[in-house]
Structure 1
Amino acid sequence: MGAGPYGLSVAAHALEAGLDARVFGRPMQSWEWHMPRGMLLKSEPDASHLGDPDRRYGLDAFRRYSYGEPVPVETFVAYGKWFRAQTVKDALDESTVTSVGTEGGLFTVSLSSGACVLARTVVLALGFLPFAHRPDALAELPSEVSSHSSDHHDLSAFAGKHVAVVGAGQSALETATLLVEAGAKPRIVARTRELAWNDTPNDRRSVISRALAPRSGLGSGWPSYVWSELPGSVRYLPKAARRRIVRTTLGPAGSWWLKERFDGAVPVTLGVRLEGADHRGAVRLHLTNGRGNVQTLETEHVIAATGYQVDVGKIDILDQNLRRGIRSAGPTPRLSRTFETPMPGLYVVGLAAAATFGPAMRFVHGCDFAARRVTRGLVNQVRKSA
């Protein structure tokens, strides 16, 4: 379920393994319609490959980019669709999955077309959209004046308007920059006292520098290397350690190539906490600083660029029994080494698997690892029931 990077990668591996696999969803839909036009990928080109068994259809096979050269989201979408044409082909059904239940030891998958498919196994590759996080302080605002960054593709609708963008990560900083370039009047509102920016990539480092801080799909340094290249090892860490790793690895920061466009173009209100908001003609954000002083910021619209928080309860296509069955002690799913949930035959990949396999699952870079592990589990499932 899902035809984004993870869903297509799992399907490519499963089909190559000889499994009777079907993919449901429009290819790259979230990336095409829920990312702002003109966005550039934060991940390096060599960390933006989808996964196929023989590694023949990476991004560099579609278009080659040099190290440090940002990839436009439009190019990445076109690459994903090309990858699908090379690997998944006729196994894709663009129908939307409306519900998943169980019947007689099989999964029942209901589609927007009205059809119902019976499946021995199901892989949830739902991406990030179901888990968009909006601060509680904005809960009372109507949707016409409050939204999440993932709600927008064409920012030109905000031309001439004052827009508050809540957040200090790449999504917030790039959204604000693109708003300026679309003719809007944005302002960043964030708790941090100072914005962070990633270093400019350097591909000519000394041998000693490379040894002390090896480069990986999640950046430079040994911790990033381990989380990036050995995500299977993360699963064996204590739950508290895994939670901390996911929360702190690659914290809020803007890409180096964005800073020049942002500085001097976007005003900022930093070191404040959003306590509440109301809508009386204009949107009023109620903020407090570190000294407890209260201030009110008026704007016409507020965009929460506040990331994503996984909660199994938000996977509303699953029936209640399945949701209850895959939930662990907290809101994230408990997964085996092959990404299988406690409900036999039901697998979860992508962002929803980050609590088990670490921060690589938040990025495209984790696609290949997840696809290989899941396919191993799917093949074993078939052998058991044969």
Structure 2
Amino acid sequence: MATTDTAIIGAGPYGLSLAAHLDAAGVPHQVLGTPMEGWRNFAPPGMLMRSDGWSTSLYAPQRGYALQDYCALRGIRYQPIGMHLTRETFIDYGLWFQQQLVDDLRQVDVVDMRRVDGMFHLALSDGTSIVARRVVLALGLKGFEKTPPVLQGLPREFVSHSCEYGDLEWVRGKDIVIVGGGQSALGLAALMNENGGRIRVLAREPVVTWNNKPQNNRSFISRLIRPDGRIGPGWRAHIIAEWPFVFRAFGAQRRKQVVNSTWGPSGAWWLRDRVVNQVDVSVGSQIRHAAIDNNRIVLQVSMKDQQSQLEADHVIAATGFKTDLSRHAFLSREIVQSMSLQDGVPELTRHFETSVRGLYVIGPASAYSFGPVMRFIYGAKYAAPQVARHILKRYRHDNPAPRTTPAAATPEAVANQADH
């Protein structure tokens, strides 16, 4: 059975960034997962990244591997703010980062993980297994999709979640209803409309919120009053992005309130012209009932106190995600219970470690401990080095460097002294 010090489950931006730091620190590790899998398989072609160029880098312990460096290498025009970064360019950049810095990677899934005598035993999808002293969960939003109760239980042929989409060719000529008023809903609506679908968006909010176009020529005073934050404009966004460990010092209830109330549903500025007057958007809408009839999905919808009926070929729930680690079926019951989850959310130490010694969580699932920045790629800048430092400290404690016996104390030295 193969062994390693640290197993990283997940090969997205957070997992790859951590692997690069562990490699530089000399800690034996294994990354388990397909590089950039979520972006490659579940983000539609033609999608633009919502984050600006300066906040969309994976993080290495040395210079030369940021998005800006990759763009310079490939002759791609880079802009720190206002860049139209395509999903395809971002994926290529992530794969380049992995090829340059992350060697110890196996493209497998973990199907079972148990803790035996303080070690983690992981069964893998290729039939093999591995034992690790430490495990880092870096699975992004995988498995956390949230679907309204009224749509739950309906056949997948008629209802799906926005996180499931790659290719969109199938929408041509279809009636599609998208539920939600945020970036996922509006982005999918634009792409599906441009792919020949007949799209209608049902947004619960009374209005659609659009982000303002960034201004690159603002004065120093303007930037001082309202700085350009890595995850949004203004001092609040700047503080949340740059000091996640201060955020952790807040009480659990306060942290939860900030995470749940920050960055509500909105659309990127560059998306507005592709949606407004192009796609039918109904605000203040809520689905009251859904059923399948004559191979169509029929929705009873309330819109501003009026009731109406809609029919469609398919409904897509672009209704976000909810962190719940108990939904990861590969985690044993003993591990889940030992993590002391609160409504599915783990309480993490300042090193991103759960209450199970040696088990860490990074990425969006750590947002309730370190703030909304962990829902963005930018959060890897803090998570990767922090976790790597802690694991290195534990690794050195578990594997102390061999001591060299002083020459005067060796048998040969004693004999030589006797001869003299």
Q: Deviations over 1:283-319 (max 9, x none)?
A: 112222453x432221110001111110111111111
Matched, 1:120 2:133: yes
Matched, 1:146 2:159: yes
Amino acid across the alignment from 1:287: V
- Give, in angstroms, the shift of residue 132 of structure 1: 0.9
Q: Bigger radius of gyration, 1 or 2?
A: 2
* Partner of residue 240, structure 2: 227
2:334 counterpart (298, 321, 324): 321
Amino acid across the alignment from 1:11: A
Q: Deviations over 1:197-230 (max 9, x none)?
A: 0100101112221111111211111110011111
Matched, 1:21 2:35: no
2:86 counterpart (52, 68, 72): 72
Q: Deviations over 1:58-91 (max 9, x none)?
A: 11111151120121001111100000011112x1
CA–CA separation in structure 1 for the residues paired with 2:288 and 2:356: 40
Partner of 2:288, secondary structure, is strand
2:64 counterpart (52, 56, 72): 56
* Partner of residue 408, structure 2: none
Indicate the percent of aligned positions where both proteins have the same amino acid.
39
Partner of 1:171, secondary structure, is helix
* Partner of residue 286, structure 1: 300
CA–CA separation in structure 1 for the residues paired with 2:188 and 2:115: 41
Partner of 2:29, secondary structure, is coil
- Give, in angstroms, the shift of residue 380 of structure 1: 2.2
Partner of 1:215, secondary structure, is coil
Q: Deviations over 1:246-283 (max 9, x none)?
A: 12222211111111111111001110222221111221
Q: Contact 1:274/1:285 (CA < 8 Å) preserved in 2?
A: yes
Q: Deviations over 1:134-187 (max 9, x none)?
A: 111101321001000111111110110000000010110010010011100010
CA–CA separation in structure 2 for the residues paired with 1:370 and 1:378: 12
* Partner of residue 35, structure 1: 43
CA–CA separation in structure 1 for the residues paired with 2:218 and 2:58: 27
Matched, 1:97 2:110: yes
Aligned residues: 384
CA–CA separation in structure 2 for the residues paired with 1:120 and 1:234: 29
1:361 counterpart (371, 374, 388): 374
Partner of 1:128, secondary structure, is coil
Matched, 1:312 2:325: yes
- Give, in angstroms, the shift of residue 244 of structure 1: 1.9
CA–CA separation in structure 2 for the residues paired with 1:319 and 1:329: 17
Instruction: Note the aligned Cα RMSD (angstroms).
Output: 1.2
CA–CA separation in structure 1 for the residues paired with 2:224 and 2:394: 41
Partner of 1:216, secondary structure, is coil
Query: TM-score normalised to the size of structure 1?
Result: 0.97
CA–CA separation in structure 2 for the residues paired with 1:224 and 1:373: 21
Q: Contact 1:191/1:270 (CA < 8 Å) preserved in 2?
A: yes
Q: Deviations over 1:1-31 (max 9, x none)?
A: 0000010001000111110011011100110
CA–CA separation in structure 1 for the residues paired with 2:391 and 2:289: 47
Amino acid across the alignment from 1:330: D
Instruction: Please say which of residues 320-329 and 23-32 is displaced more in the overlay.
Output: 320-329
Partner of 2:316, secondary structure, is strand
Q: Contact 1:140/1:278 (CA < 8 Å) preserved in 2?
A: no
CA–CA separation in structure 1 for the residues paired with 2:182 and 2:193: 17
